[in-house]
């Protein structure tokens, strides 16, 4: 409490997070300097209002315990490539040969503001992450949006404030979607262009860790009237008088080949250099019908494609296992300074505070040091006066949206077998449910100030009291008469709360619930899965 007069001890933390004081004390001792510790986090916290200090808080814990740059220790996110197997890529894909395109529009609308921008013509420009420029000082701007085009996203379904999103779509002069199924945004579009899956295109490369390069390739010709993204975009460009060759000067197959031919792998010696991954012969060039040069690599072209990629052989204690993030800095900070103003880990970072304060997306005044921020929507706001020992308010429960077995985000939610196997209930604490006369399988109405949904109850002893879970990604099924979503879409309940550099609040919304007094909800597997029969 040196800076703000509040004693931030285990008792203070326990009252907010619900973890007993003795467990907090035990945890603090467990992550001390005397032990090797892996501090790993996933991304749930990043989907909470007022969470933008969490990375700095987390890094501070790692620095205090000495869990960076030493064998047996790490402070990182829980992805394979960023934690236990970090370091430079051992195998890398090549360039496709498609030219990069300049975006003439410099305005970028933060995600939670996009539907309001469509409806009101106002947004706050805070930077462009996709261009690599990152965050910038906030600037209020205006826009006049008449058209929405959905390319390869599912933002109406997976983005916040879906109810306002549907209103925005209905306000537009024109909405276009590329889709493989009747997705939520396709359902609210004027025109839906059937686009191919990755199984119907020549192929491509991807990577999720440093030692394996994935290669997927075509398994079937495009079905029905589906066209590839390249074909659709080329036809649109032709229609508006733009030469498609300015964007796609080569064929998709040539681009696929180029990415393979340009792939490299770490050399077998200790030079640290990269060598060609794939052998290409004259016969290969003739068989593929592409332009290119012959080369000698570690694996044949057809073998690489048929294997679905390439795995760098790993052995215990091989030279690739010696990588330690920040290892050289920890070993000699003077000779190996970091790219910070001080050259060190900055627990106190004025640049962070200045940037967040200049963005101006919320009422917080950010300090240079990491501190707990009381969220504008979170646990504290489940109470009438915002005080955690006070009276509960209009929305006394904390709503979060766990990822769920039935789908990947929103993908596969229309699969009949998965809809039958996983019911997509609302998760309730058993004691909370009992107080309201709710049992397993009862139809429950859950509502926030943004919308309301119906779900069947799943009452759980291992869910904390005061918590309500609506699984993420269920396709909306809006009852136009009642205004209630009967599909259980989590984002029909979320709003456009935003903070920091553009953090979206998904996992700490406020809600209420009750046993529904209307007709019982039908199981999802018996409802419309939006599967179109075009025969």
Span 258-298, pLDDT tens digits: 999 999 999 988 788 999 999 999 999 999 999 999 999 99
Taking CA atoms, 422 is separated from 412, 415, 456, 477, 493, in Å, by 12, 11, 12, 17, 21
Is a pLDDT exceeding 90 seen at residue 185? yes
Question: 128-154, pLDDT tens digit by residue?
Answer: 877 777 888 999 999 999 999 999 889
| CA distance linking residue 463 with residue 469, whole number of Å | 9
Quick one: pLDDT band at residue 232, thresholds 50, 70, 90?
very high
| CA distance linking residue 263 with residue 511, whole number of Å | 50
| CA distance linking residue 24 with residue 30, whole number of Å | 10
Is a pLDDT exceeding 80 seen at residue 216? yes
**Residue 253: CB atoms within 10 Å:** 15
Q: Which domains does the chain have, with CATH numbers?
A: 31-86+325-359 (3.40.228.10), 111-145+195-311 (no CATH), 380-526 (2.40.40.20)
Kindly state the average pLDDT of the residues 438-455.
98
Helix, strand, coil percent values for the chain (each to nearest 5): 25, 20, 50
Question: 330-347, pLDDT tens digit by residue?
Answer: 999 999 999 998 999 989
| CA distance linking residue 60 with residue 76, whole number of Å | 12
Kindly state the average pLDDT of the residues 459-470.
96
pLDDT at 535: 61
Question: 19-43, pLDDT tens digit by residue?
Answer: 999 999 999 999 999 999 999 988 8
Backbone angles phi, psi at 38, to 5 degrees: -105, 115
pLDDT at 453: 98
* Residue among 195, 192, 187, 143 nearest 169 (CA): 187
Quick one: pLDDT band at residue 196, thresholds 50, 70, 90?
very high
* Residue among 111, 61, 54 nearest 352 (CA): 54
Please indicate whether residue 72 or residue 280 has the higher confidence score (pLDDT): 280
**Which residue has 């295109």 as its token pair?**
201
Kindly state the average pLDDT of the residues 392-418.
95
pLDDT at 499: 87
What global pTM score does this model have?
0.92
Of 80-94, 193-207, 305-319, 392-406, the poorest mean pLDDT is in 80-94
**Angle, CA 293 vertex, CA 292 and CA 299 arms, to 5°:** 100
Please indicate whether residue 431 or residue 129 has the higher confidence score (pLDDT): 431
Q: 452-460 and 426-429 as β-strands: parallel, antiparallel, unpaired?
A: parallel
Structure tokens at 25: 């004390």
Question: 479-495, pLDDT tens digit by residue?
Answer: 999 999 999 999 999 99
Quick one: pLDDT band at residue 45, thresholds 50, 70, 90?
confident
Kindly state the average pLDDT of the residues 154-169.
96
| CA distance linking residue 453 with residue 492, whole number of Å | 7
Q: Which helix (H) or strand (E) holds 455?
A: strand 452-460
Kindly state the average pLDDT of the residues 51-56.
91
pLDDT at 81: 67
State the DSSP code for 491.
G
State the DSSP code for 409.
T
Please indicate whether residue 468 or residue 504 has the higher confidence score (pLDDT): 468
Mean per-residue pLDDT over the chain, rounded: 93
For 272: left if phi > 0, alpha if psi spans -120 to 50, otherwise beta; the answer is left
């Amino acid at each position: 409490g040196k800076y703000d007069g509040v004693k931030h001890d285990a008792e203070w933390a326990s009252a907010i997070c619900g973890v007993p004081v003795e467990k907090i004390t035990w945890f603090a001792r467990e992550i001390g300097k005397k032990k090797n510790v892996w501090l790993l986090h996933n991304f749930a916290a990043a989907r909470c209002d007022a969470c933008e200090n969490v990375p700095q808080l987390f890094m501070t814990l790692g620095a205090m315990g000495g869990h960076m740059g030493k064998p047996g220790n790490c402070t990182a996110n829980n992805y394979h490539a960023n934690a236990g197997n970090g370091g430079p890529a051992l195998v890398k894909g090549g360039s496709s040969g498609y030219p990069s395109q300049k975006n003439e529009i410099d305005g970028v609308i933060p995600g939670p503001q996009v539907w309001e921008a469509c409806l009101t013509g106002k947004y706050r420009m805070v930077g462009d992450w996709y261009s690599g420029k990152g965050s910038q000082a906030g600037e209020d701007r205006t826009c006049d949006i008449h058209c929405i085009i959905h390319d390869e996203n599912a933002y109406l379904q997976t983005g916040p404030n879906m109810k306002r999103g549907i209103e925005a779509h209905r306000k537009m002069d024109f909405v276009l979607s590329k889709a493989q199924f009747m997705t939520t945004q396709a359902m609210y579009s004027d025109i839906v262009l059937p686009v191919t899956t990755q199984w119907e295109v020549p192929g491509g490369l991807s990577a999720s860790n440093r030692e394996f390069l994935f290669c997927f390739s075509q398994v079937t010709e495009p079905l029905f009237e589906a066209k590839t993204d390249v074909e659709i975009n080329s036809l649109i460009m032709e229609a508006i008088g733009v030469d498609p060759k300015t964007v796609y000067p080569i064929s998709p197959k040539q681009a696929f080949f180029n990415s393979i031919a340009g792939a490299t792998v770490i050399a077998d010696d200790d030079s640290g250099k990269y060598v060609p991954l794939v052998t290409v012969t004259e016969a290969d060039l003739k068989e593929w019908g592409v332009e290119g040069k012959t080369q000698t690599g570690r694996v044949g072209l057809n073998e690489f494609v048929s294997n679905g990629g390439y795995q760098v052989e790993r052995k215990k204690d091989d030279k690739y296992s010696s990588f330690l993030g920040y290892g050289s800095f920890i070993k000699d900070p003077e000779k190996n300074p970091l790219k910070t103003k001080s050259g060190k880990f900055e627990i106190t970072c004025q640049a962070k505070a200045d940037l967040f304060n200049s963005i101006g997306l919320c009422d917080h005044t950010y300090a240079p040091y990491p501190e707990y921020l009381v969220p504008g929507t979170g646990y504290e706001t489940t109470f009438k006066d915002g005080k955690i020992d006070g009276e509960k308010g209009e929305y006394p429960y904390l709503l979060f949206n766990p990822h769920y077995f039935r789908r990947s985000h929103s993908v596969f939610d229309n699969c009949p077998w998965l809809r039958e196997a996983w019911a997509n209930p609302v998760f309730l604490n058993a004691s909370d449910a009992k107080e309201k006369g709710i049992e397993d399988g009862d139809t429950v109405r859950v509502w926030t100030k943004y919308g309301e949904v119906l779900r069947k109850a799943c009452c759980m002893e291992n869910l904390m009291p005061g918590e309500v879970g609506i699984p993420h990604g269920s396709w909306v099924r809006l009852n136009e008469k009642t205004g209630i979503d009967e599909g259980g879409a989590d984002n029909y309940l979320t709003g456009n709360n935003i903070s920091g550099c553009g953090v979206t609040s998904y996992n700490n919304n406020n809600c209420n619930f009750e046993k529904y007094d209307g007709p019982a909800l039908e199981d999802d597997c018996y409802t419309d899965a939006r599967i179109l029969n075009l025969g």
